[in-house]
Amino acid sequence: MSAEDLYLDLLKKALTASLYDESAGHASNWLKVNNQVVTLPPGAALIQYRPLDEVARSEGRDWPLFGFTMAGLKRMDNIQHCLGQVLADGVPGDLIETGVWRGGAAILMRGMLAARGVTDRTVWVADSFEGLPPPSADDRARAPKDPDHSQEAYLKVPLERVQENFRRFGLLDGQVRFLKGWFKDTLPAAPVERLAILRLDGDLYSSTKDALDALGHKVSPGGFVIVDDYHAWEGCRQAVDEYRAARGITAPLVQVDWTAVYWRA
């Protein structure tokens, strides 16, 4: 393996927390005492140890206690593959992820650009940095079985923390730009001219549709559209299928793992 391969392999394992058995633990801020629920003080948590399931972590099926992405190694490998292809083929454009959690997938993109010495592409990091929005009436009507995670504190990662995560890996610089807010408000006016990679991780129908409508036409020929939630969220799948049908996109959807797919523009 080359030095670049070794770096990217270690980076992916660190970002997914696949190196640490303890990352499979579960944290809660309450416990039961004599059948009574007791809430722990702020900043305290009860950690339940679980052995790391390497298959689940590889496929992004668990929520790591710590780490920087829930995507799993297969989806991280897919990002590396797609980015490597656009760099090899000279496909013009920047890179963006819409819905970033702790920033891990975007950190990998920036790390790969740094490893290759690429200085003329920007990594755009788009998120509310407040968690998921409540499902809209449209979301509920189209995908009534999709969950509502809008109150899930685990998913609410502030902008400052994501920026700090980039800094910890030595990757916070002028090639990383942040778009804070709901997609419907930020993406239509975002100063993104062309994209080589559009990675969607917005879960809901409305979030996926907003991102595709604002950015899909900016993907260069030969670029990639990656959909993290295609098989996991009915609303996401509907939004993608409607978008592709309305624009006559016939490029095949390629399976990444149990949920993610991608196509090449």
Domain ranges of the chain: 72-264
Whether 48 shows a pLDDT value over 70: the answer reads yes
Give the tens place of pLDDT for each residue, 89-115. Answer: 999 999 999 999 999 999 999 999 999
As a whole number, mean pLDDT of residues 67-93 equals 97
Look up residue 82 and give its two tokens.
Answer: 């797609």
Q: What is the pLDDT of residue 29?
A: 66
Q: 72-264: what fold? A: Rossmann fold (3.40.50)
Q: What is the pLDDT of residue 184?
A: 96
Least confident interval from 143-157, 161-175, 182-196, 212-226: 143-157
Q: What is the pLDDT of residue 128?
A: 97
Q: What is the pLDDT of residue 42?
A: 78
Round to whole Å and give the CA distance between 201 and 71.
10
pTM for the model stands at 0.93
| DSSP calls for the chain | --HHHHHHHHHHHHHTTTT-GGGG-EEESEEEETTEEEEPPTT--EEEP----HHHHHTT-S--SSSS-SSHHHHHHHHHHHHHHHHHHT---EEEEE--TTSHHHHHHHHHHHHHT--S--EEEEE-SS-PPPPPHHHHHH-TTS---TT-GGG---HHHHHHHHHHTT--STTEEEEES-HHHHSTT-----EEEEEE---SHHHHHHHHHHHGGGEEEEEEEEETTTTT-HHHHHHHHHHHHHTT--PPPEE-SSS-EEEE-
Round to whole Å and give the CA distance between 46 and 25.
10
Length of the chain: 265
Question: From the CB of residue 115, how many other CB atoms can be counted at a distance below 10 Å?
Answer: 15
- Cβ pair 153, 125 in contact under 8 A: no
**Binning pLDDT at 50, 70 and 90, where does residue 43 land?**
confident
Round to whole Å and give the CA distance between 109 and 54.
23
Whether 117 shows a pLDDT value over 70: the answer reads yes
Question: From the CB of residue 75, how many other CB atoms can be counted at a distance below 10 Å?
Answer: 27
Q: What is the pLDDT of residue 208?
A: 98
Look up residue 161 and give its two tokens.
Answer: 């923390």
Taking Cα atoms as reference points, which of 92, 154, 102 lies closest to residue 125? 102
